[in-house]
Amino acid sequence: MDRIAITGGYRLEGEIPISGAKNAALPLMCASLLTKDPFILSNLPQLADISTLKLLLKGHGVRAKVLNCGKSLDQGRTISFTTEVITSTVAPYDIVRKMRASILVLGPLLARMGEATVSLPGGCAIGNRPIDLHLKGFEEMGATIELEEGYVRAVAPGGRLKGGNVHFPMISVGATENILMAATLASGTTTIENAAREPEISDLVNCLNAMGANIKGIGTKTLEIVGVDNLHGAEYAVMPDRIEAGSYAIAAAMTRGEIELKGKDLMDAMRGTIGILREAGLRFQETEGGIVATLGTDKVKGINVSTQPYPGFPTDMQAQVMAMMTLCDGASVINETIFENRFMHVPELTRMGADITVHGSTATLRGIDQLLGAPVMATDLRASMSLILAGLVADRQTFVNRIYHLDRGYERLVEKLSAVGAKIIRDANLGI
């Protein structure tokens, strides 16, 4: 099993191309089920989750053809997805359990075929991740939902969903995306109230409208979708990954370096993140093709922050900010309000000398002068990035185990960090 070894203490300087956003690409790929026409997505990142979803879509009859394999670091892949016929409406457990975003095929299958049988995704390391809001939304649109042997069996009476008024009692990115896709082909108008407003959802709305959908309210918490009879193909470029960009901005700050994050409209996509990072002392300078990130103060400033739905501070940046706050001037408080178990990086950072106290969903950090290199274990995608960031500034070497978590969301991480001066290698035989 591969490990990553990092020798800390090197200032990072140069350019890092930001890949297409994983959390935009996944729902966009599911949207391919909504049309018989060729549907072309560009700027797709090469990630484990993308490959898992491609496999799942293939089982439904989606033919994927790589039009451009994106050889260079700054080029994503272009893939054409064609679904002339949906050959199966079943999403099997052995794939869904690997990647819970697979649940996003439920809405498109229900919309296109009037039925779907999708394995319950189950929980993951950061929480039990229920899908009750998704299912209630489909019922509001006339679907019948049965749970049998670990599968959700959804049927639209008469073969077509009807427009409904879906109100989410709590904000859910996935539930908003699932209902949004299903509503594009429903008979009548659907409103989604208290919709999630993440930039990845605006990306999905823009793409669906390019396919002939009729969606209003982009970027707001109320979406109105007038159902149409069918959607046509489109060509669409996935937005840049704001979480990857924020992670590398922190790498620049922690190593007192200067990294130009290359990507279109990054500043806009990173709105919910940049405010907090600026509060911690980071500086952002917009350039022709991206943003330059540096630390504008001697030490990272302590902050008090709670994770929130967009445009608040994203939970997907919490572990990375915590790595940075281990070295803050004074103290810092981080409150995780979205997931019930998203502090698994804390014991690993503590092994590296961090001073962190956790009470319930709140972590209090007292800044230290130097992290200590150590063997540590990745437990989930964003926790693994926080350990990489800590290793970049720790003394001696840090060995990060179980980095398959990292492969789910960070494309070509070792290449990108090496290119800006990090001493980082990946190998299965790294001794400890």
Of 78, 172, 320, 386, the one binding ligand EPZ by CB under 6 A: 172
The residue to which tokens 């409904």 are assigned:
164
Asked if 57 interacts with ligand EPZ (CB under 6 A), we say: no
Which residue, among 249, 254, 378, has the nearest Cα to 327 in the 3D structure?
254
**In the complex with ligand EPZ, which residue's Cβ is closer, 131 or 261?**
131
**In the complex with ligand EPZ, which residue's Cβ is closer, 169 or 330?**
169
**In the complex with ligand EPZ, which residue's Cβ is closer, 123 or 158?**
123
Smallest gap, in angstroms, from Cβ of residue 101 to ligand EPZ?
Answer: 4
Size of residue set near ligand EPZ by CB under 6 A = 23
Asked if 182 interacts with ligand EPZ (CB under 6 A), we say: no
Which residue, among 309, 294, 301, has the nearest Cα to 279 in the 3D structure?
301
Asked if 107 interacts with ligand EPZ (CB under 6 A), we say: no
**In the complex with ligand EPZ, which residue's Cβ is closer, 130 or 157?**
130
Asked if 313 interacts with ligand EPZ (CB under 6 A), we say: no
Tokens for 347? 């014991």
Of 32, 78, 102, 315, the one binding ligand EPZ by CB under 6 A: 315
Of 110, 180, 338, 393, the one binding ligand EPZ by CB under 6 A: 338
Asked if 112 interacts with ligand EPZ (CB under 6 A), we say: no
Q: Which residue is nearest to ligand EPZ (CB)?
A: 174
Smallest gap, in angstroms, from Cβ of residue 345 to ligand EPZ?
Answer: 12
Asked if 317 interacts with ligand EPZ (CB under 6 A), we say: no
**In the complex with ligand EPZ, which residue's Cβ is closer, 126 or 394?**
126
Q: How far is Cα 336 from Cα 127, in angstroms, rounded to an integer?
A: 12
Tokens for 381? 């995608």
**In the complex with ligand EPZ, which residue's Cβ is closer, 101 or 300?**
101
Site string for ligand EPZ, 85-104 (x = CB under 6 A): ----------------x---
Q: How far is Cα 252 from Cα 262, in angstroms, rounded to an integer?
A: 14
Check if 69 is active-site: no
Asked if 289 interacts with ligand EPZ (CB under 6 A), we say: no
Asked if 302 interacts with ligand EPZ (CB under 6 A), we say: no
Asked if 382 interacts with ligand EPZ (CB under 6 A), we say: yes
Asked if 203 interacts with ligand EPZ (CB under 6 A), we say: no
Asked if 179 interacts with ligand EPZ (CB under 6 A), we say: no
Asked if 345 interacts with ligand EPZ (CB under 6 A), we say: no
Catalytic-labelled residue, pool 30, 69, 124, 328:
124
Asked if 173 interacts with ligand EPZ (CB under 6 A), we say: yes
Residues 26-55 that bind ligand EPZ (CB under 6 A): 26
- Which range binds ligand EPZ by CB under 6 A, 125-133, 257-265, 368-376, 387-395? 125-133
What is the three-state SS of the chain? CCEEEEECCCCCEEEEECCECHHHHHHHHHHHHHCCCCEEEEEECCCHHHHHHHHHHHHHCCEEEEEECCCCCCCCEEEEEECCCCCCCEECHHHHCCCHHHHHHHHHHHHHHCEEEEECCCCECCECCCCHHHHHHHHHCCCEEEEECCEEEEECHHHCCECCEEECCCCCHHHHHHHHHHHCCCECEEEEECCCCCHHHHHHHHHHHHCCCEEECCCCCEEEEECCCCCCCCEEECCECHHHHHHHHHHHHHCCCEEEEECCCHHHHCHHHHHHHHHCCEEEEEECCEEEEEECCCCCECCEEEECCCCCECHHHHHHHHHHHCCCECEEEEECCCCCCCCCHHHHHHHCCCEEEEECCEEEEECCCCCECCEEECCCHHHHHHHHHHHHHCECEEEEECCCCHHHCCCCHHHHHHCCCCEEEEECCCCC
**In the complex with ligand EPZ, which residue's Cβ is closer, 78 or 320?**
320
- Which range binds ligand EPZ by CB under 6 A, 3-11, 129-137, 205-213, 264-272? 129-137
Asked if 139 interacts with ligand EPZ (CB under 6 A), we say: no
Residues that bind ligand EPZ (CB under 6 A): 23, 26, 101, 127, 129-134, 170, 172-175, 196, 315-316, 338-339, 381-382, 409
What residues are annotated to the active site?
Answer: 124
